[in-house]
Amino acid sequence: MTAPPHETRPGEPGRAPHAGGPRRATPDTQQGMRRRNLARVMHAVRAEGPLSRAAVAARIGLTRAAVSTLVDELIRSGLIEELGPERPGRVGRPGSALAVSARGPAGIGAEVGVDHLAVCAVDLRGTTRARAIRQGANRGRSPEPVIAELTALILEVVAEAEGEGLWPAGLAVAVPGLVARDSRTVVRAPNLDWHDTDLGDLLPAEFPLTVDNEANFGALAELWLGDGTPRDFLHVSAEIGIGAAVVVDGGLLRGTRGFAGELGHVPVQPDGPECACGGRGCLEQYAGEEAVLRAAGLEPDEDRVGLLAGRAADGDEDVRRALRDAGTALGVALTGAVNLLDPDGVVLGGELSGVAPWLLPSLRDELARRTAGPVCPVTVSQLGPQGPLLGAAHSVVRAVLDDPAAVAERA
């Protein structure tokens, strides 16, 4: 019987939609088929395990014999483990339940925030196994000392993960800025004041590296870990600037230079105040954290969103009005985006989720007033500010699940 592997699309099992560098199509050979079938076994066990070999075979439409060969290879590589015989009361030889390994490869996620650094390690089961965080302003600091501190955190997390039998399969770094399609170079991070910085030169060379915009990683986290996230959505995120990520059919839309999703500079009032980008009346001038603080008569603080959320919760009318106006401005910008992209939903994530209760009503009103037909639903991420860091770590894990053969060769 011939194995009937399916073609896959970006974001579906069998292909990494996001992993570092340009995507390589798996060649359509016996070897390529084996690789794709290894991925299908991994995804089946990950999604529905523990499963017996027979159950895996039934789910992915291969013979029991073919699946056994694939499973043996994955066990040898340490990607799958046997939990021992299951359901011994049943007729026939008892199947041994399979699960993805809680040891073996781990994804290392890291985040450079304007006011913090964070690193975590996630195993193949999706469990966060180690974590480190350092608060402190990074704004205006040059990349070298910041990345040196990040590296120290990374090595700390890696050491902790290795103590639990894990090994780093790759490092993914979320940054608040535009990243080139080489997945290494921060072209522009205005809130850090970094320009054309190749992080590959500054980070430990031993880990395969992917650098991406925090909104992109946040969107991937939402797609993979969110509850009922659609496969076509716009993810809006904010940390001083306003970033967005466009997910189409379960994959990120990156744009020619990798800059897609620049919602913050969509004109909201074409004759409005000047923006650092050279334009006027950009969304950031109305809904960026600093603009909202200014409108509320507050001074910037290290924890800007926390300050706004706290004041709004306390009933501060100036802050509530400022957030309401920011919601309206977001509604105008999102009307344009929804008209252009026709997504299945908009998710507010990242730091923005902290003030969502006071943004959402005016945002939804504005969107409803301006769009004909059914209104695009706007929801708030349940991952909140953790999204980008989790998305980074899980992107490495996904790359392993999507091509276990590549990792097995390195194990």
Point out which residues bind a second copy (CB under 8 A): 2, 4-7, 25-30, 33, 188, 230, 232, 244, 246, 248, 253-263, 265-270, 277-280, 332-333, 335-337, 339-344, 369-373
Rounded to a whole number of angstroms, the minimum distance from the CB of residue 88 to a second copy is: 37
User: Residue 1 or residue 91: which is nearer to a second copy going by CB?
Assistant: 1
Cα–Cα distance between 214 and 276 in angstroms, integer?
20
DSSP assignment of 311-357 equals HHHTT-HHHHHHHHHHHHHHHHHHHHHHHHH--S-EEE-GGGGGGHH
User: What backbone torsions phi and psi does residue 403 show, to the nearest 5 degrees?
Assistant: -150, 70
User: Residue 58 or residue 277: which is nearer to a second copy going by CB?
Assistant: 277
Strand order in the sheet with 185-189: 178-179, 185-189, 194-198
Q: Which residues pair with 182 in a beta bridge?
A: none
Rounded to a whole number of angstroms, the minimum distance from the CB of residue 246 to a second copy is: 7
Cα–Cα distance between 54 and 68 in angstroms, integer?
9
Q: For the chain, report the end-to-end CA distance as a whole number of angstroms.
A: 31
The CA–CA distances, whole Å, from 297 to 248, 292, 321, 378 equal 39, 9, 11, 28
User: Residue 105 or residue 343: which is nearer to a second copy going by CB?
Assistant: 343
Q: Which residues pair with 130 in a beta bridge?
A: 121
Estimate to the nearest angstrom the gap between the alpha carbon of 12 and the chain centroid. 15
User: Residue 6 or residue 76: which is nearer to a second copy going by CB?
Assistant: 6
Rounded to a whole number of angstroms, the minimum distance from the CB of residue 266 to a second copy is: 4
**Amino acid in the structure at residue 321:** R
Rounded to a whole number of angstroms, the minimum distance from the CB of residue 262 to a second copy is: 4
Q: Which residues pair with 173 in a beta bridge?
A: 110, 211
User: Residue 77 or residue 335: which is nearer to a second copy going by CB?
Assistant: 335
Helix, strand or coil, per DSSP, at residue 381 = coil
User: Residue 217 or residue 233: which is nearer to a second copy going by CB?
Assistant: 233
User: Residue 49 or residue 343: which is nearer to a second copy going by CB?
Assistant: 343
Residue 95 structure tokens: 């199947």
User: Residue 88 or residue 256: which is nearer to a second copy going by CB?
Assistant: 256
Residues belonging to the chain:
411
**CB neighbour class for 123 (10 Å; exposed up to 12, middle 13-18, buried from 19):** buried
Rounded to a whole number of angstroms, the minimum distance from the CB of residue 351 to a second copy is: 20
Rounded to a whole number of angstroms, the minimum distance from the CB of residue 235 to a second copy is: 12
Cα–Cα distance between 96 and 38 in angstroms, integer?
18
Rounded to a whole number of angstroms, the minimum distance from the CB of residue 26 to a second copy is: 7
Rounded to a whole number of angstroms, the minimum distance from the CB of residue 179 to a second copy is: 12
Rounded to a whole number of angstroms, the minimum distance from the CB of residue 14 to a second copy is: 10
User: Residue 94 or residue 267: which is nearer to a second copy going by CB?
Assistant: 267
* Contact of 215 with 174, CB cutoff 8 Å: no
